[in-house]
Amino acid sequence: MSEHFDLLIRGGVCALPWGLEALDIGAKDGRIAALGVSSHASAEEVIDASGLHVLPGLIDPHVHLRDPGDPKIETVLTGTRAAVLGGITTVFDMPNTSPAITDSDRLAWKQGYVERQSWCDIGLYVGATKENIDSLATLELGHGVCGVKVFAGSSTGPLLVEDDESLERVMRSGRRRISYHSEDEYRLQARKGLFKNGDPYASHMAWRDEECAFLGTRRLMALARKTGRAAHILHVSTAEELAYLQDFREVATCELLVNHLTQVAPECYDRLGGLAVMNPPIRDQRHYDAAWAALRNGTIDTIGSDHAPHRRSDKEKPWPECPGGLTGVQTLAPIMLDHVNAGRLSLCQLVDLMAAGPSRVYGLIGKGRLVAGYDADFTLVDMGRQRRIEDSWIASPCGWTPFAGMKVTGWPHATVVRGQVVMREDEVVGAPSGRLARFG
């Protein structure tokens, strides 16, 4: 009797842990059941992947879905819809919502809420504050929690832990890897008076200069080594940090953003104005070149979007009234596929940075590779398809992207989450069925 599966993917070139290989994949009960399937096998649903590459489900480990917050900007429902349209099967959502996710009650509310609203699987960060340090060791072990997020700079309200004494206390509460926004708050505040309202948008990278980021990272590395607590430095933006972090691999991993691999100052500020303002800032060619060099030499562990939408009207305000943050979850994969086609990295490198890497860094269970027993998460891509990214394609209610007008080669064809097709050829199908991701 021939094998029967829930889903068969036939005819694709698969990105396996050992390289690219043409084979068929069978999925059953939401998991990968077989790599290499008989031609006689049958299934409830068959995807013809001829001419396509089959990747393990891509992960965006850095998104701000703004929920709870303002549904006119973003929600879990709209943000995860954008994710699956862009070929993303799992996202990790940041805690700086309104109210912030910093205690067991708010975490419990969100744990129950997201599984009714999410189109893809989701992990939740818990935010560190000076008031909840003693409870972080418990909170970080919650169902679906991908880890603790520390804003060592660039935050408002309670989500700011800027002094060494408090940072060390955070590091000694719990054991999982902590993710950091690394800018030095003291230097940020000291330099604020050097600028005035209405200064050019490029002033953003002058205010939040290289030393602001590098000083923050140096302080964190000293404390991480002192405490032995593993650190993940988010959105590294300077050549200095990238070189420095190579000497701290026993305690540190690091992330690059697609923006720092794609946009260069001052051109981006001249062209986009407030739509280029993010934290840490987009910098000049020297830092762009250093980011690509670090990716190629293995310094980088993950790539994210730092999807952080705002109203267009707010982004169009004069600097520094315009808030920092850009849309990105929907455009992350197409832009990185375009970089593959341009020869800047290989498809296997992309898979390591956007699937296996996040799984490894965060202790994500059952995702990130095409292997038997893992979740049947797949991102099917057409590496030859050429498209122009447009605002009209963006699913987030804010309705804009800093990459509007950009021509790319390589496009997500279908998104499959635990064996269920949720996007096919730019159409979201079915109903939201995302679950909280599992972490070790």
pLDDT value of position 193 = 96
Q: Residue 91 and residue 117: Cα distance in Å, rounded?
A: 13
Residue 1 pLDDT greater than 60, yes or no: no
Instruction: Tell me the sheet residues that pair with 55.
Output: 379
What confidence category does residue 155 fall into, taking pLDDT thresholds of 50, 70 and 90?
Answer: confident
Domain extents for the chain? 4-54+376-428, 58-362
> Under CATH, which number does the domain 4-54+376-428 receive?
2.30.40.10
Residue 111 pLDDT greater than 90, yes or no: yes
Chain mean position to CA 61: 3
What homologous superfamily is domain 58-362 in, according to CATH?
Answer: Metal-dependent hydrolases (3.20.20.140)
Which tokens in the block code for residue 378? 């797949």
pLDDT value of position 2 = 78
What confidence category does residue 219 fall into, taking pLDDT thresholds of 50, 70 and 90?
Answer: very high
Q: What is the per-residue pLDDT across 234-293, written as a single tens digit (0 to 9) for each?
A: 999 999 999 999 999 999 999 999 999 999 999 999 999 999 999 999 999 999 999 999
The reported pTM is 0.98
Check: CB of residue 171 under 8 Å from CB of residue 202.
no
Q: Residue 113 and residue 110: Cα distance in Å, rounded?
A: 5
Q: Residue 355 and residue 98: Cα distance in Å, rounded?
A: 29
Q: Residue 177 and residue 175: Cα distance in Å, rounded?
A: 7
Mean pLDDT of the chain: 97
Instruction: Tell me the sheet residues that pair with 316.
Output: none
What's the whole-number mean pLDDT along residues 116-141?
Answer: 98
Side chain identity at 435, as an amino acid letter? R
Tell me if residue 239 falls in helix, strand or coil: helix
Q: Residue 432 and residue 118: Cα distance in Å, rounded?
A: 5
pLDDT value of position 158 = 82
